[in-house]
Amino acid sequence: MRGRYYISVLDLGKEETLEVLEIARHYKIERKAGKRKSDILKGKIWAILFEKPSLRTRVTFEVAVRELGGETFYLSPNDVGLGKREPVKDVARNLERWIDGVFARVFDHKVFQEFRDYAPNLSVINALSDLEHPCQALADFQTMIEITGDLGFHLAFIGDGNNVANSLMLMSALLGSDFTIACPEGYEPPKEIVEKALEMAKRTGSQINIVRDPKSAVSRADFIYTDVWASMGQETEAEIRRKAFQGYQVNEELLKFAPEHAKVMHCLPAHRGEEITDEVIESERSLVFVQAENRLHTIKALLSFLSQ
């Protein structure tokens, strides 16, 4: 496993990603049948290195490693102080000498490049950065495939072109699913993400669109996705963003413009009453807790795949 990286959706190709999702499907079946333990990671030690708080990401990773026979330990921001207490490159080179992998949640995506440059024999998984959230995208695609049985669906993202939207756009383009994001002007995904997605879409047949009107975005959607308007680290922009995203709430009124079968998704935590209403998140259309459950299965699958 040493030296394996998953810091971007694009660190795995299409067939590799589909293999991970198939492994996740099997893990979910086995867990429901009461089979949880294996020894795939026996003798392996992973650090959980988080600069941001977490519920789903931290718990599912710890459970995943333990169910695969490995061990974990947690490093808080106060323990390490990436780039503050000591340089990222020093942290990376120390950890490389002691453990097998790092599951990191960071503010700046560039941290991962430093790990790649200075600790090439250390496995690193992106648990969230300002640019991408690839593990969330894996869980989301497992969730959507469970509903449709294939990849021929249309995912509409309503809101900010943030890390989650970036990874969902890239994975849609990679696997050949259609993706539309409705966002205000100035809140689109980064240009480099869009360009990568459009280039892949030419090969896979995916349709990638950026629109302003949420109603048009959901008009042919199989899945309607939203996330908080101000992510962690953007708290000072919260009021500005709240004004900018008026009209982008996923609510019952918006769902009237979507097909009756369309399901609603959110990566959580949700600001109920802002980007999504309590009514919708608690409705029969909501998949949010299925997504959360599938975080465990896809992380187990990713770890198993990377250990091959």
Both 261 and 173 in one domain: the answer is yes
Helix (H, G, I), strand (E, B) or coil at 199: helix
Backbone angles phi, psi at 127, to 5 degrees: -90, 0
Both 280 and 205 in one domain: the answer is yes
Q: How large a percentage of the chain has pLDDT more than 70?
A: 99
Both 20 and 125 in one domain: the answer is yes
Specify the pTM. 0.96
Q: Is 2 a residue whose pLDDT tops 70?
A: no
97 part of the active site: no
Active-site residue (options: 136, 142, 249, 291): 136
Amino acid at 221: A
Range of the domain at 185: 136-292
Among all chains, which residue has been given the structure tokens 């323990």?
A: 79
295 part of the active site: yes
Both 142 and 278 in one domain: the answer is yes
Question: Total structural domains in the chain?
Answer: 2
- Categorize the per-residue pLDDT at 36 as very low, low, confident or very high, splitting at 50, 70 and 90: very high
Average pLDDT of every residue of the chain: 95
Both 160 and 215 in one domain: the answer is yes
Both 28 and 149 in one domain: the answer is no
What pLDDT score was predicted for residue 122? 95
Both 144 and 277 in one domain: the answer is yes
Both 54 and 76 in one domain: the answer is yes
What pLDDT score was predicted for residue 1? 56
222 part of the active site: no
Q: Is the distance from CB of 134 to CB of 164 less than 8 angstroms?
A: no
Active-site residue (options: 105, 154, 241, 266): 105
- Cα 68 from Cα 36, distance rounded (Å): 8
Reading the block at residue 111, the tokens are 């941290």
Start-to-end Cα distance in the chain = 7
Both 205 and 83 in one domain: the answer is no
Cβ density class 230-242: b for 16+ within 10 Å, e for less: bbbeeeeeeeebe
Both 51 and 99 in one domain: the answer is yes
The helix (run of H) or strand (run of E) holding residue 266 is strand 263-266
What Cα–Cα distance (Å) separates residue 147 from each residue in 30, 36, 290?
19, 24, 11
DSSP secondary structure letter of residue 104: E
Tens of pLDDT, residues 106-156 = 999 999 999 999 999 999 999 999 999 999 999 999 999 999 999 999 999
What is the domain-level CATH number for residue 10? Answer: 3.40.50.1370
Active-site residue (options: 183, 249, 266, 267): 267
- Categorize the per-residue pLDDT at 3 as very low, low, confident or very high, splitting at 50, 70 and 90: confident
133 part of the active site: yes
Both 182 and 209 in one domain: the answer is yes
- Cα 33 from Cα 89, distance rounded (Å): 44
Reading the block at residue 303, the tokens are 């770890």
Both 15 and 145 in one domain: the answer is no
DSSP secondary structure letter of residue 190: P
Active-site residue (options: 56, 133, 154, 266): 133
140 part of the active site: no
Active-site residue (options: 135, 178, 227, 249): 227
308 part of the active site: no
What pLDDT score was predicted for residue 238? 85
